[in-house]
Structure 1
Amino acid sequence: MTVRGVDHVGLTVPDVDAATTFLVEAFDAVVLYDTLPADAPPKGGHETDERLGVPDGAREVRVRMLALPGGPGIELFAFDGAAQGAPAVPTDLGWQHVALYVDDLDVTLDRVVRAGAVALGVPRPLPGPEEGARNRFVYVRTPWGSTVELLTYPDPQPYEAHTDRRRWHP
């Protein structure tokens, strides 16, 4: 078995169309297809509960696949029929953010904020084993509250002196 990379990230949002608009405006995402379009009946019941591990009564009402330039995909889900908690923050258990490698952090941050995200501070140098003169990162919150990290590391990093393996980036 060989894992070749991340194919897509699944993201539950309150409004698939609004999330799509943000992802297109902020990151040049492209809509590939709707697995469950708005005019299709919702999917629910035992098969959905079992397949996704969702609470009884939850129904998928929209599912859409988008592609980011250079991958991976982002699969948007919308549900009804079940209570939903607040979006995960870094202290919650489980997957808590998606990190996107960008070439120009400042330009990307400006664009993401114009599209509706909130910057959680200013770009900062990557620390310790990731540091380098131009290696930086910043976190943002999407309009629906999910956390995205924007980062760039065009300069060599100290960890590279200790292993031949490198972080994956486009």
Structure 2
Amino acid sequence: MKQYIVDAFTKEPFKGNSAAVCVMDAWPTKEFMMKLAAENNLSETAYIVKEEQGYHLRWFTPGAEIELCGHATLASAFVILNFYDTDAKEVHFHTMSGELIVRRKGESFELDFPTYELKELPVTDAMEAAFGVRPIKAVLGLDLVCVFENEEDVRNMNPDQVTFNKD
């Protein structure tokens, strides 16, 4: 295994958005990936395994595996295109969110993000109970997103996750 620390969105060291990128010959256990991500203590650690067509990519925070991470995908592409497949113009990642393609654009990289259908939901009393303030709008994609009246409402809320998870 080789591990790289990459600062996405910048050319300057110690700026941008850092991610660890681990290039593996085969998948370690999920427990290993969780422990290494926790030890790295960065917002995300990316794990890559070469496949016949492209690469399989997974992302972990210090506490969980996640479905999608843009900056860690760009960091992974930087590693692959600069140290492994240096003649390639793009890299294909197979992920929990589907196929992600990163293209080299001069000295930069371009990522095609997947799109998800969003569905507006009715605001419920359970949402208000969970947040302590009533949202003015609720939208469901991969996650639930609630919109609130103003910044003060957001700053003052004390979400009750237990209440929210009941409904």
- Regarding TM over 0.5, the answer is no
The structure whose Rg is larger is 2
Higher relative contact order (CA 8 A, sep 6+): 1
Higher-strand-fraction structure: 2
